[in-house]
Structure 1
Amino acid sequence: QGQRPYAVVLIDADIDGFIFLDRFITKGTKGGEAAADEFLARTREYLRSVHDDAEKLDVVVRIYANLEGMANLLVREGKVRNLGQLRAFSTAFSSRVPFFDFVDVGVGKDGGAARKIRENLHFHAQSYQCAHILLGASPDTASVSLLEQLPGDRLTLIDSVPLAQNARALGLKTMRYLTLFPPPPKAIPSSRTGRPQLQLTSSRDDPNTTWLVIRPERSKSQGAG
């Protein structure tokens, strides 16, 4: 019938565990291209472990984030100079592979990235062409009640944030993008749009180093400079 089976990766990058490692995010256009190449390679590698016909699957990636808010955080941390540098990264990531999109959802009143994740989850779960879903989201977004509605044999959770114990009890498959995202922190992170809080986290480039970090509230109106 001409139908093309695919696997889709859905990521809420407003969660700290899904900010790309410094060796990618700080390099602008070149970093975005390198991140896309690595993302495709690691995704295909994982799919080969769960699907016999993995090489026949198109790989669709949707990463959602408030880019202005992410840029504000990265500027404070000295990772990027301004919003333009981060946009160069996200644009290059999207342009590198046909079905890759790094989407700026802005500052939305209706849930932003989390809403996009939920709606896309339901859409792809109902598609007969969708062979597998890899989900990277906060425990609030990927709640047990939501996960229970999805086809467990076609779902993998990306373990870059601590998974809730009751979510682990569902017995779903998990995987990590070890070469792209930092290892899970030792405390459950919140969206960077929340209030300031203390958080234990591992260094993005050295998993053996742990820091106590104060995450300030992300301004909704502050520019990236």
Structure 2
Amino acid sequence: MSDPQVQLESLQDVWNTCQANDDQKHVLIKNLFTYVNDLSARLSEAEYELRDRKDVIKLTRDRIEEAKKEIQVLRDEKARHAFASVLIDGDCMPFNDDLVKSGLEGGKRAAGLLKQAVDGELRSSLPDVARHVQITIRVYANMKGLAKTYKDAEIVPQVASFDEFVRGFNMGDPMCDYVDAGNGKECSDEKIKAMFRHDLADMHCQQILFGGSADNGYARLLGPYNEDDAVRSRITLLEGPPFARELAAIKDRYHTARNGVSPDSAANTIDRLCDGRCSGPNRAFFIFIV
């Protein structure tokens, strides 16, 4: 038999080895639990972040949906108040003689025909605009001067006949106004320019149909917008008399509309009504109403 002391030492070594292994197992298990706890904490944090992100995404989506609804409400509100503005210089763009001669009834018919013509123009050329707009029509003129010229040209028998035409025009449609701009030569121009700028600045105004083709002065009114596509798309130039020289130079940048021609025999009368502002070699006079 071996020495008991040797055996004891051998057993002690085995014990020490087993104890070292146990210590390693303990450390390993402890490290595993620490690692698991760390993973659990990180998982919980990730879950909180994910939940927060979902809340943010939901909140953002709700806000987007709410904003879309508000935008649609604004669009609907804008559509309810949308209008097309017709501005006509009555001093250089007079109505058909037969309508003026017919006095009150001629004025009513002129308002109806003009509104019908404008509606047709919008539907054919600008269908997106025509679906939901009201049409407002304003004719500005030196009524006293026009009445005298009509009488002197023997288009009407007396000044009061032209007054009857204007009265009929104003009665013909609640959105049609024939306005006396005053006796000054530039009174109509100034009022039309002011209303043009006013309507152009109005977000509800979808289209301006502008009738002042015989007056070069309106080229300066349009000048700032000649290169602005967004603004030009909202302007239609109505051709009554042939476009004056400066307007003729820029008219192709805009949408234009015209509606017919009066007999050549009326040319001298038209020149007198335009007070010399109707330019161009073509003696036939184009008017928006025939």
TM-score, L = length of structure 1: 0.76
- CA shift digits 1:101-139 (9 cap, x unpaired): 000122127x21000111111101111000000111133
SS at match of 1:45: helix
In 2 relative to 1, CA 82–191 (structure 1 residues): closer, same or farther, beyond 3 Å? closer
Aligned to 1:9: 86
- Unaligned ranges ≥5, structure 1: 206-225
| 2:151 equivalent among 66, 70, 75 | 75
Cα offset for 1:194?
A: 6.2
Cα offset for 1:182?
A: 7.5
Q: Retained in 1: the 8 A contact 2:89–2:188? A: yes
In 2 relative to 1, CA 182–42 (structure 1 residues): closer, same or farther, beyond 3 Å? farther
- CA shift digits 1:40-83 (9 cap, x unpaired): 11100000121324042110111011111111111122111222
Q: CA separation in 2, counterparts of 1:19 and 1:167? A: 18
Q: CA separation in 1, counterparts of 2:209 and 2:263? A: 17
Aligned length: 196
**Which has a greater percent of helix?**
2
Q: Which runs of 4+ in 1 moved over 6 A?
A: none
SS at match of 1:88: helix
Cα offset for 1:166?
A: 5.2
SS at match of 1:98: coil
Counterpart AA for 1:125: L
Cα offset for 1:167?
A: 3.7
Aligned to 1:175: 257
Query: What does 1:161-172 correspond to in 2, within 5 Å?
Result: 161-164=241-244, 167-170=247-250, 171-172=253-254
Counterpart AA for 2:137: V
Q: Retained in 2: the 8 A contact 1:94–1:102? A: yes
Counterpart AA for 2:222: L
Aligned to 1:140: 216
| 1:45 equivalent among 101, 113, 120 | 120
Query: What does 1:110-129 correspond to in 2, within 5 Å?
Result: 111-129=186-204
SS at match of 2:116: helix
Counterpart AA for 2:108: E
Aligned to 2:240: 160
**Which has a greater percent of strand?**
1
Aligned to 1:211: none
In 2 relative to 1, CA 100–131 (structure 1 residues): closer, same or farther, beyond 3 Å? same
Cα offset for 1:84?
A: 1.3
Q: CA separation in 2, counterparts of 1:148 and 1:125? A: 14
Q: CA separation in 1, counterparts of 2:183 and 2:149? A: 14
| 1:104 equivalent among 173, 180, 186 | 180
TM-score, L = length of structure 2: 0.60
- CA shift digits 1:148-177 (9 cap, x unpaired): 324100001111122245544542111013
In 2 relative to 1, CA 51–190 (structure 1 residues): closer, same or farther, beyond 3 Å? farther
Aligned to 2:164: 88
Q: CA separation in 2, counterparts of 1:6 and 1:20? A: 23
Query: What does 1:184-195 correspond to in 2, within 5 Å?
Result: 192=274
Identity over the aligned pairs, expressed in percent?
A: 27
Q: CA separation in 1, counterparts of 2:102 and 2:211? A: 23
